[in-house]
Amino acid sequence: MKKIKSFISFLLLLVLILSSGCNQANKVEIEDESNKDEENIKIVTTLFPQYDFAREIAKDKAEVILLLPPGVEAHSFEPTPQDITNIKKSDIFIYTGEYMEPWAEKIIKNIGDTNTISVDLSSGIELMDEGDDHDHDHDHDHEGDDHDHDHEEHHEDEEHHEDEEHHHHGGKDPHIWLDPVYAQKMVDDIVESLVKVDSTNEEFYRENGEEYKKKLQELHESFTETFKKTKHRKIIYGGHFAFGYFAKRYGLEYISPYNGFTPNAEPTPQRITELIENMKFTGSKAIYYEELIDPKVATIISEQTGAEMLLLHGAHNISKEELEKGVSYIDLMEENLERLKQGLEYIE
Ligand SMILES: [Zn+2]
């Protein structure tokens, strides 16, 4: 009897030990899993601005990957099979929109049943057509007889005509990130995607987002104040048409010799001449050039007019040196601010 009793208590003890051990094991496992999830949030971004924004919002809670290798021109970029695998394995895939990354849609469709959230940062933003800007430009550039002459010449020019046809079928302006107000909207979209993937840290993401948006708002205010006091109000740009939203935001005029919104097609001599005429007309002493591309057009214009060449960084991507220095989107935009002060002749 005693033996049986002690055997029963032994059994009970065993059950207790096992069940508590089991419980503990379960608990540990669950904790492990949630930790793993937190540490493993993987974000894949296409361009540098969203890469930088995502890092500012997620900080140490996510691994953020920039698809563009350092120094690569963004518009001609095509993802490698490894990039596509990375996108499919990611928790969040952040891209600019169909006009910047025409290849993205197909990948998103083929993502299948993985839990990747795709974020189209241009959704909800009314994108501009190229046509809009050209009309705008011609209305303001030339006054009097010169204007009509110029216009007729362009219409007679078959090549230009073909390009214009191309515009109408072509895309819309994808360069939303260069407007610090749209940049704040981009930050909101990234915050929401992180909250969806990791709601436990919702407050953390929202706070970081708000803090970063304050910096973007300060940047926006600096631009607004600066352009109230510049002698010139026109940015003459030797690079491709990237600063359309920026110029619109601050009521500036903007001219680029490229057709379309990419640097893929070389500007015609007529368009370069048009820029030179603009320089003479406005009395501007600065010609701006773009990042990461040989500034051929700006060099020609500088040689012909004696204008100073200044970099206006489109922030699509950064160079290897910039990456190593830890350059941020805000750094690039603050440098742009300084060069615009210089080139548009800021009056203290
Ligand atoms: Zn561009």
**Secondary structure of the chain as H, E, C letters:** CHHHHHHHHHHHHHHHHHHHHHHHHHHHHHHHHHHHHHHCEEEEECCHHHHHHHHHHHHHHEEEEECCCCCCCCCCCCCCHHHHHHHHHCCEEEECCCCCCCCHHHHHHCCCCCCCEEEECCCCCCCCEHHHHHHHHHHHHCCCHHHHHHHHHHHHCHHHHHHHHHHHHCCECCCHHHCHHHHHHHHHHHHHHHHHHCHHHHHHHHHHHHHHHHHHHHHHHHHHHHHCCECCCEEEECCCCCCHHHHHHCCCEEECCCCCCCCCCCCCHHHHHHHHHHHHHHCCCEEEECCCCCCHHHHHHHHHHCCEEEECCCCCCCCHHHHHHCCCHHHHHHHHHHHHHHHCCECC
> From ligand 1's centre to the CA of 127, what distance in Å?
14
More confident residue, 252 or 259: 252
How far, in Å, CA of 116 to CA of 93, rounded? 7
Give residue 27's pLDDT.
41
> From ligand 1's centre to the CA of 289, what distance in Å?
12
235: closest CA among 221, 223, 253? 253
> Residues 275-290: what's their mean pLDDT?
95
> From ligand 1's centre to the CA of 211, what distance in Å?
28
Reply yes or no on whether the pLDDT at 166 is more than 60: no
> From ligand 1's centre to the CA of 254, what distance in Å?
14
Q: Residue 337 to residues 186, 229, 298, 342, 344: CA-CA distances in angstroms?
A: 21, 13, 19, 9, 10
> From ligand 1's centre to the CA of 323, what distance in Å?
19
> From ligand 1's centre to the CA of 186, what distance in Å?
17
- Contact yes or no for 55/63 (Cβ under 8 A): no
How far, in Å, CA of 222 to CA of 11, rounded? 76
> From ligand 1's centre to the CA of 75, what distance in Å?
6
- Contact yes or no for 58/64 (Cβ under 8 A): yes
> From ligand 1's centre to the CA of 111, what distance in Å?
27
- Mean pLDDT over all residues of the chain? 84
Q: 173: alpha, beta or left, given left = phi > 0 and alpha = psi -120 to 50?
A: beta
CB count within 10 Å of CB 335 equals 14
Q: Residue 66 to residues 49, 109, 191, 252, 315: CA-CA distances in angstroms?
A: 10, 21, 17, 31, 13
Q: 263: alpha, beta or left, given left = phi > 0 and alpha = psi -120 to 50?
A: alpha
Give residue 135's pLDDT.
38
> From ligand 1's centre to the CA of 264, what distance in Å?
10
> From ligand 1's centre to the CA of 241, what distance in Å?
7
> From ligand 1's centre to the CA of 315, what distance in Å?
9
- Contact yes or no for 243/314 (Cβ under 8 A): yes
Give residue 158's pLDDT.
38
> From ligand 1's centre to the CA of 293, what distance in Å?
11
Q: Taking the mean position of all CA atoms in its chain, how far away is CA 113?
A: 28
> Residues 151-162: what's their mean pLDDT?
40
> Residues 3-28: what's their mean pLDDT?
48
- Contact yes or no for 312/237 (Cβ under 8 A): yes
How far, in Å, CA of 267 to CA of 271, rounded? 6
Q: Across-strand partners of 97?
A: none
pLDDT in tens, 47-83: 999 999 999 999 999 999 999 999 999 999 999 999 9
pLDDT in tens, 215-257: 999 999 999 999 999 999 999 999 999 999 999 999 999 999 9
- pLDDT above 90 coverage of the chain, percent: 73
Q: Residue 293 to residues 93, 102, 175, 311, 345: CA-CA distances in angstroms?
A: 27, 21, 17, 11, 26
> From ligand 1's centre to the CA of 36, what distance in Å?
37
Give residue 5's pLDDT.
58
> From ligand 1's centre to the CA of 190, what distance in Å?
21
Burial of 125 (0-12, 13-18, 19+ CB in 10 A): middle
More confident residue, 265 or 69: 69
